[in-house]
Structure 1
Amino acid sequence: MINITGLDGKEYVINSDHIEKLEQIPESVITLTNGHKYLVKESNDEIIKKVVQYKRRIFIGDLK
C-alpha cells in the first residue's frame, strides 16, 4: 500500500499491486487493474519510488 495525494490535496492509500499503468499529462494518472483512474500530485518517478520502497519493506519484513 502506498500513500498518494489527489489534486484536491486529500491523501489516499492504494494497493500498489493493482497499478496497471502510469501516465504523466502533466499530472500523474494512475490506472488500476479494475479500470479506476486517479489524478495525483506525485510524479511518475515519485510513485515508482514509493512502490519500490513498499516492496523492499515487504521483502525484508519491516511492515511497521
Structure 2
Amino acid sequence: MIELTRLNNSTFLLNAFLIEQVEAFPDTTITLVNGKKIVVRESINDVKLKTNELYRTIGLASIYSKQDAEGS
C-alpha cells in the first residue's frame, strides 16, 4: 500500500497493484484496473517513486532488474 493525499488533504492508502495508469490533467489522476479514477495532490513522479519503493520493499524491483539485464 502507498500513502497518498486527496485534493481535500485527507490521506489514504492505495493498493499499488490496482493502478492501471497515472496521468496529469493537470491534477494527478490515477485510474485503477476497475476503471475508478482517484485525483491526488502528489505529482506523477511522486506516485511513481512511492510505487517503486513499495516494489523494492517486497522484492519485485529486483526481479524486473534481472529480467531487463537478461534481455539486453
TM-score in terms of structure 1 length: 0.89
After TM superposition, give the deviation of residue 49 of structure 1 in Å: 0.2
Partner of 1:15: 15
* Residue equivalent to 2:47: 47
Counterpart secondary structure, 1:55: helix
Structure 1: state its 5+ residue gaps. Answer: none
Deviates more, 1:51-60 or 1:3-12: 51-60
Whose helix fraction is larger, Structure 1's or Structure 2's?
2
Q: Structure 2, unaligned stretches of length 5 or more?
A: 61-72
Which runs of 4 or more aligned residues in structure 1 lie more than 2 Å from their structure 2 counterparts after TM superposition? none
Name the count of aligned residue pairs.
60
TM-score between both structures, scaled by the size of structure 2: 0.79
Give yes or no for the alignment of 1:2 onto 2:2: yes
Superposed CA offset, 1:8-53 (max 9, x none): 0000101101100111011100000011110000000000000000
Q: Percent identity?
A: 35
Q: CA RMSD in A?
A: 1.2
Match status 1:57 vs 2:43:
no
Report the structure number with the largest CA radius of gyration: 2
